[in-house]
Amino acid sequence: MGSTSVVAEAAAKLAASFKGQVLQPADSGYEDARKVHNGLVDKRPALIARCHGVSDVVAALDLARKLGIEVAVRGGGHNVAGRATIDGGVMIDLSPMRAVGVDAKRKTARAQGGATWADLNPATQEHSLAVTGGVVSATGIGGLTLGGGIGWLMGKYGLALDNLRAIELVTADGKVLQVDKQSEPDLFWALRGGGGNFGIATNFEFDLHAVGPTVVGGPIVHPIEHASDTLRFFRDATQSLADEQILFAALTHAPDGSGTPVAAMVTCHCGPLAEAERAVQSIRQFGTPMVDGVGAVAYEQLNTALDASFPKGALSYWKSHFLTELSDGAIETMIDCFARCPTPMGQFLIEHLHGAVTRVGVSETAFPHRKEGYNFLILAQWTDHADTTACIEWARETAKLMQPFFAAGRYVNYLDDDETGDPVRAAYGLNYRRLQQIKAQYDPTNVFRMNQNIRPLA
Ligand SMILES: Cc1cc2nc3c(=O)[nH]c(=O)nc-3n(C[C@H](O)[C@H](O)[C@H](O)COP(=O)(O)OP(=O)(O)OC[C@H]3O[C@@H](n4cnc5c(N)ncnc54)[C@H](O)[C@@H]3O)c2cc1C
């Protein structure tokens, strides 16, 4: 890192033409700006460049290059591994860049690189349109889309990245490229799954689809004593879902603060309402739920329903793996492990992937996880630093005990920062080598390495 006075001098020069704000550690606003979603991440950048447009992004990148210091790029700041920030480097903060424009006639939307789903969903829903997005609205469209994009609409419309038309990208050498299938086919392929490895996405253009404004969805909650039956029912129900319906399961805690452990399912059906009501009947009729929150709901509202369970600043540690299958053994092991959960904010989530997301070829985009099946997430979340060791140990121990049920693939967007082995190579499988080649072409010196890093092919 350059000395403090060199950085200060460079920051002053940058600020002269910068449209946004350049923050150093002593500046007011710095403490707030350096925070990301995960309260466990406590990094102190030498500079935070809060960009207001593409020229700010180019200038901030140029400054980092001249100073010879590392960069991190912040979209929504939700990455659990804290890849949006960096000790002693430049945080290129896109969070002031959140403008969204919808072309209802063409059914497309453009969103700046720092927008969140809370910015994009309401804008598209004004026209009863939507694109697959994250299930928690504060998540950035940037990191989520570049790494994949699992959400309520993926059975019908694929992942967020399957709906990309184009990206405006600032590359490692400061060029601004319009990237789409025709103009930069290799780069466009790599951006759809390769995360922040290839540049800074300042604008995304998505295809939109007719959705809502009312869909049928919500949670259905059973006593934890019925967890085994609930998860078996979930497994059976996921065998015959229509593309329009997504069903996830969770072992979690009642959101009323009582700490009561529960087994839950949560669903969304984006098809015609009568059809959707019929499709969710069997889920609603199973067992004797403590809470049946499934019903007609605004799509926009469903996408904020889980927000309160993931408050900003909570301490988080995640593990996630695809499962080979949701076997009885996997179910019983999960239930045993959940019984030892040391935090009332901890949960296991099982995401089921099917439909459109699985009809894209493994190598059609960089995102290779195209098989119907289950992704298992261990979501340790707590608020008291005194609980950190117990919560992290629980997550690690669970991952160890669940290991026999794990498939090889990993979803990059859920990786934490202490993974062993080579999780990024494992995450991309057969696509990793092509990604390395494209990385060598567009970022040979690995400027963009504060991410789930793809090493440029030597
Ligand atoms: C509470 C919660 C809910 C989630 N729900 C979902 C979900 O429903 N579906 C799902 O698929 N994932 C989900 N995720 C995971 C999410 O996809 C990742 O955390 C993702 O990295 C978040 O993107 P972000 O822009 O908010 O993150 P950031 O932390 O800002 O960035 C993450 C990575 O992406 C890079 N990046 C971000 N924006 C850009 C950009 N514009 N250009 C270039 N690089 C960029 C960053 O440099 C960093 O490496 C969730 C995460 C959390 C914490």
Q: What is the band of 1 on the pLDDT scale with cuts at 50, 70, 90?
A: very low
The answer to whether the CB of 76 falls within 8 A of the CB of 114 is yes
Q: Is residue 151 part of a domain?
A: yes
Give tens-digit pLDDT for 325-366: 999 999 999 999 999 999 999 999 999 999 999 999 999 999
Is 168 found in the same domain as 71?
Answer: no
Does residue 58's CB lie within 6 angstroms of at least one atom of ligand 1?
no
Percent pLDDT > 70 in the chain is 99
Residue 11: pLDDT over 90: no
- Tokens matching residue 77: 């700041």
CATH code (residue 145): 3.30.465.10
Distance CA 26, CA 231 (A): 51
> 3-state class of 135 per DSSP?
coil
Say yes or no: CB of residue 195 within 6 Å of ligand 1: yes
| Residue 423 resides in a domain | no
Q: What is the mean pLDDT of residues 144-163?
A: 98
Instruction: Give dist(CA 228, CA 249) in Å, integer.
Output: 12
- As for how many domains the chain has, the answer is 3
Q: What is the pLDDT of residues 267-290, one digit of tens each?
A: 999 999 999 999 999 999 999 999
Residue 435 binned pLDDT confidence (cut-offs 50, 70, 90): very high
In this structure, what DSSP letter does residue 114 have?
T
Residue 369 lies in a domain: yes
Q: Does 415 contact ligand 1 (Cβ within 6 A)?
A: no
Over the stretch 105-135, which tens digit does the pLDDT of each residue have?
999 999 999 999 999 999 999 999 999 999 9
Tokens, residue 317: 């540690």
CB atoms within 10 A of CB 99: 14
DSSP H/E element including 267: strand 261-269
DSSP percent split of the chain into helix, strand, coil, nearest 5: 35, 25, 40
What is the average pLDDT score of the chain?
Answer: 96
Q: What is the mean pLDDT of residues 399-410?
A: 95
Q: Is 113 in the pocket of ligand 1 (CB under 6 A)?
A: yes
| pLDDT surpasses 90 at 234 | yes
Residue with the two structure tokens 């072409």: 441
Ligand 1: does its nearest atom lie under 6 Å from the Cβ of 149?
yes
- Are 86 and 116 contained in the same domain? no
pLDDT at 261: 97
How many angstroms separate the Cα of 438 from the Cα of each of 122, 199, 410, 428? Answer: 35, 12, 21, 14
Q: What is the CATH number of the domain that holds 15?
A: 3.30.43.10
Alpha carbon of 299 to ligand 1 centroid (Å): 21
Confirm or reject: Cβ of 147 under 6 Å from ligand 1.
yes
Same domain, 398 and 319: yes
Higher pLDDT, 17 or 80: 80
Asked whether residue 334 is assigned to any structural domain, the reply reads yes
> Which of 40, 73, 170 has most ligand 1 atoms within 8 Å of its beta carbon, as the pocket-test mutant?
73
Return the residue whose CA atom lies nearest to atom 28 of ligand 1.
77
In the predicted structure, residue 254 carries a pLDDT above the cut 60? yes
Query: Quick check: CB of 413 below 6 Å from ligand 1?
Result: yes
Whether the pLDDT of residue 418 is over 90: the answer is no
Does 428 reside within a domain?
no
pLDDT over 70 (residue 82): yes
How many whole angstroms separate alpha carbon 170 and alpha carbon 58? Answer: 7
What's the gap in Å between 79 CA and the centre of ligand 1? 5
Tell me, what's the pLDDT at 2?
52
Judge if 134 and 147 occupy the same domain. yes
Residue 453 domain flag: no
Question: What mean pLDDT is predicted for residues 292-316?
Answer: 96
- The pLDDT of residue 64: 95
Distance CA 154, CA 190 (A): 20
What's the whole-model pTM score?
Answer: 0.97
Q: What's residue 366's pLDDT?
A: 98
* Minimum-distance ligand 1 atom for the alpha carbon of 204: 41
Query: Sign of torsion, CA 347 350 356 360?
Result: positive
288 in any annotated domain: yes
Answer yes or no: is the C-beta of 357 below 6 A from any ligand 1 atom: no
Q: Is residue 255 located within the same domain as residue 352?
A: yes
Q: Is the pLDDT of residue 10 over 90?
A: no
Average pLDDT over residues 18-45: 96
pLDDT band at residue 456 under the 50/70/90 scheme? very high
CATH number at residue 393: 3.40.462.20
Our answer on whether the CB atom of 89 is closer than 6 Å to any ligand 1 atom is no
Is residue 425, in this structure, part of any structural domain at all?
A: no
Per residue in 51-61, pLDDT tens? 999 999 999 99
Question: Mean pLDDT across the stretch 295-317?
Answer: 96
pLDDT of residue 434 exceeding 90, the answer is yes
107 DSSP 8-state letter: T
Residues 6+ apart with CB under 8 A from 97: 51, 52, 53, 112, 113, 114, 115, 202
Rounded Cα distance between 456 and 434, Å, is 10
- Residue 143's domain spans which residues? 100-211+433-442
Does ligand 1 lie within 6 Å of residue 80's CB atom? yes
For 122-235, list the strands marked E by DSSP: 129-130, 164-170, 176-180, 200-207, 209-210, 214-223
Same-domain check for residues 358 and 336: yes
CA of 76 to the centre of ligand 1 (A): 6
CB atoms within 10 A of CB 410: 25
Q: What letter does residue 313 receive in the DSSP assignment?
A: T
